[in-house]
Structure 1
């Protein structure tokens, strides 16, 4: 290895460390301040470790019924929405992967157009209203059932499935539904996990749907709840509505930070276990084999 290559490796490593630090430090800063006593944190100067360790802010979060209800809505819509989205998109993709489907190219053209152009927010709101999905849990599920981008990923995988599997199943008397359920889905676990990860992260992080279509506070997800806490500075009112037993050191800022940690932690913990599917999903269809 030449001196130039060594210098490049060193600079490259330092650059990557700098990028990692810039990316991760804001998360660490929020975590450290969330675990610090609220009144003490208001003095500032906390950068690396809690100065006065305290979990009272997290106690305030978990004792608030509004936050726990919002968390339940988020978990429910993430699980149900992800399962429905994956199965429905996979069914449409399997149908479009069949060469004998009449009008297949037309459907693909129409679907491609929707990736670049949409009706806009106002027509979408009017449609949701006319479908009677305002203030309904279904607004989280039905509009997000299908994604043409995810369909393309499914198509790339389904086209690589050997035709011999399909032919053997039809010889045994299997129909399209049986082939899809008993053959296509079991061999498609990598792409199913990839799309589930994509959509699960979207469902967990989505706050806009709750802001536009939900007025009932019992149906708002945790991300919408957090948005309203931060944007409307309502955390002081939230503290005032807490049951007894919350320490005086809890502040509105400490509750905001603790809420951020609680809402972000589940998806951050789950992501490393699904990362291999995420990487594999990006390569689906890139190499024939």
Structure 2
């Protein structure tokens, strides 16, 4: 292999330096939040916390994990993410499979109708009135039903299904397999990469959503932890009546005197962020293959 010239080495060095600085600017805010979450609150208030905790403590996490409302919110978030992702992927894939059927009457008109919904919507107020008329207010189903279908994901699924070998479906039909059997026994098992990729995108959207519960949910026992974090960021934890901490946690704060609003907020951010980050390594290998195979047609 030929050695690089001086100009080439200089270019490569500049590229590595640029990528290193870019990575640092992306990762440092997360690292600093993690460091603050492990630092004593009174010491954090003095400022100057950068790369390492100056006064290490686990008190912030003890208070967060001992609060019953936060644990319930975490359970709601996990339940919503799992149920919402499975149902959305299944329904979207089923719709995409139906759109690949050449004998579907009006298939082109359906496709035009779906694409229009990608660019235009009725807005927030009509959506609110519709969900209220359907009786979805203060119910767990409001997390699931409005997000069952994603037109963009349907198009990706549809393109992927159309690229599957035709002989597989024909052989299954000869063996007496119905459309349901073809979809469940052949199409879905062969769609692992695209299902994993779109499933991750859907799961992240469900996990990070705080806006929808703030509109449709008024019962504390149905609030996900993301909405609670939003309330925490917009209010003072100790003094505000809408605090996400219960009386026992506030009493513990007064007793220890080692926590602060900022330290508790950062600890709560870590509790919200880390679970969904742990999912990425398991599906990262499907990203390029899943999205490209579902988006290109030869």
TM-score (norm 1): 0.96
Aligned partner (choices 281, 286, 289) of residue 277 of structure 1: 286
Structure 1, 3-12 or 211-220: larger mean CA deviation: 3-12
Change (3 A) 1:202 1:43: same
8 Å CA contact 1:226–1:259 kept in 2: the answer is: yes
The answer to whether the aligner puts 1:128 opposite 2:137 as a matched pair is no
8 Å CA contact 2:194–2:294 kept in 1: the answer is: no
Distance 1:114 1:276 in 2: 31
Report what 2:73 is aligned to: 70
8 Å CA contact 2:159–2:297 kept in 1: the answer is: no
8 Å CA contact 1:235–1:255 kept in 2: the answer is: no
Please give the per-residue CA displacement for 1:86-142, whole angstroms capped at 9, x wherever unaligned: 100000000001122111111111111111111100000000110010111000000
Report what 1:92 is aligned to: 95
Report what 2:82 is aligned to: 79
Residue ranges of structure 2 left out of the alignment (5+ in a row): none
Distance 1:49 1:227 in 2: 26
The answer to whether the aligner puts 1:258 opposite 2:258 as a matched pair is no
Distance 1:32 1:269 in 2: 19
8 Å CA contact 1:197–1:278 kept in 2: the answer is: no
The answer to whether the aligner puts 1:205 opposite 2:205 as a matched pair is no
Instruction: Work out the number of aligned pairs and report it.
Output: 289
Report what 1:54 is aligned to: 57
SS of 1:242's equivalent in the other structure is helix
Change (3 A) 1:54 1:8: same
Change (3 A) 1:197 1:131: same
Structure 1, 187-196 or 271-280: larger mean CA deviation: 271-280
Task: Name the Cα RMSD after superposition.
Answer: 1.5
The answer to whether the aligner puts 1:16 opposite 2:8 as a matched pair is no
8 Å CA contact 1:37–1:52 kept in 2: the answer is: yes
The alpha-carbon deviation at position 285 of structure 1 amounts to 3.7
Change (3 A) 1:207 1:60: same
SS of 1:72's equivalent in the other structure is helix
